[in-house]
Amino acid sequence: MSGILSAPYPISPETSEAYRRDGYALLRDVCPPVELAPYAEAIRDAALRESTESRPLEERDTYGKAFLQVINLWPKDETVRRFVLARRFGQIAADLLGVDAVRLYHDQALFKEPGGGPTPWHQDQFYWPLDGVKTVTMWMPLVPIQADMMAMKFVARTHENGPITMKEISDDSERFFDDFIHSRGLPIHQIQEMAPGDATFHSGWCLHGAPGNATPRMREVMTIIFFEDGARISEPDSDYRRGDMAAFFPGRVPGDLADTELNPVVFSR
């Protein structure tokens, strides 16, 4: 592992406070571009190799148009493994969550194609059998993101009360959350520009989405999801959560510790 990925990234008390208040944070230079480059190449190669999506954009539903999604690349490529299990990322996650140790839930390569559609408003933890568990997602672009490509948008403090509605990512969730946001006059924070290796971190219940990609360039992003060590699996109350329990906690049942070989400790104090 390169030195930067094992080196600490200082989190100020102000950043921690802002994350816990708002449910998200933007951190610059988490992995400097020169250090990121070989990992970005490995992630790109692995994602395109493992992707099973071959339909043209116009034949896909809203979710399919939002991005090419490839999950859990880390067991399939040694370079990607070193990146996903980087102590530096785990330390940031643990500091923001205010816990002593974090485990990996899974990684996701999310590549928004040229002309790709928007990512509808949603809450990630809707999909995860981890009720009552502290979770955080790192969202890191592998390419420069400027105003014509757009990064994530967040609605502050929407993480405070857990699920707002149990709707999957869809046109319906977009309409519901649009009404929710505007009827309450909630401010939307659209992140305009990010350099490769900058990263956002957001709570599992923080409401977020992303505009479409109007550029001729692929918007390549790698995400890593962390949860607090010692968490137990909750009773899945949807097919999505039952599927996640089988995929990411194999052999475990509700009430068991979430600590399979697919969920290694990434950082511990």
A 10 A CB-CB count for 132 gives 8
Domain that holds residue 57: 14-248
Tell me, yes or no, whether 263 lies in a domain: no
133, 228 contact by CB (below 8 A): yes
Structure-block tokens of residue 128: 């995860």
Tell me, yes or no, whether 183 lies in a domain: yes
Tell me, yes or no, whether 174 lies in a domain: yes
pLDDT in tens, the chain (269 residues): 468 999 999 999 999 999 999 999 999 999 999 999 999 999 999 999 998 877 878 888 887 777 789 999 999 999 999 999 999 999 999 999 999 999 999 999 999 988 888 899 999 999 999 999 999 999 999 999 988 888 999 999 999 989 999 888 889 989 999 999 999 999 999 998 999 999 999 999 999 999 999 899 999 999 999 999 999 999 999 999 999 999 999 999 999 999 999 999 999 99
pLDDT at site 147: 80
What is the rounded CA–CA span in Å between residue 7 and residue 10?
A: 10
CATH code, domain with 53: 2.60.120.620
78, 47 contact by CB (below 8 A): no
Structure-block tokens of residue 183: 């009827």
If one counts the domains in the chain, the total is 1
Tell me, yes or no, whether 4 lies in a domain: no
What are the residues whose beta carbons fall under 8 Å from the beta carbon of 194, sequence distance 6 or more?
26, 141, 144, 145, 151, 200
Angle CA 207–107–200, to nearest 5: 45
pLDDT at site 2: 64
Q: SS3 helix, strand, coil % of the chain, rounded to 5?
A: 35, 25, 45
Listing DSSP states for 5-19 in one string gives HHS-----HHHHHHH
Tell me, yes or no, whether 32 lies in a domain: yes
What is the rounded CA–CA span in Å between residue 230 and residue 258?
A: 7
pLDDT at site 167: 84
Tell me, yes or no, whether 75 lies in a domain: yes
30, 197 contact by CB (below 8 A): yes
Tell me, yes or no, whether 53 lies in a domain: yes
Query: SS3 for 269?
Result: coil
Tell me, yes or no, whether 1 lies in a domain: no
CA torsion through residues 260, 223, 196, 114, sign: positive
Q: What is the CA radius of gyration of the chain?
A: 17
Q: Which of 174, 206, 205 is nearest to 189 (CA)?
A: 206
State the pTM of this model.
0.95
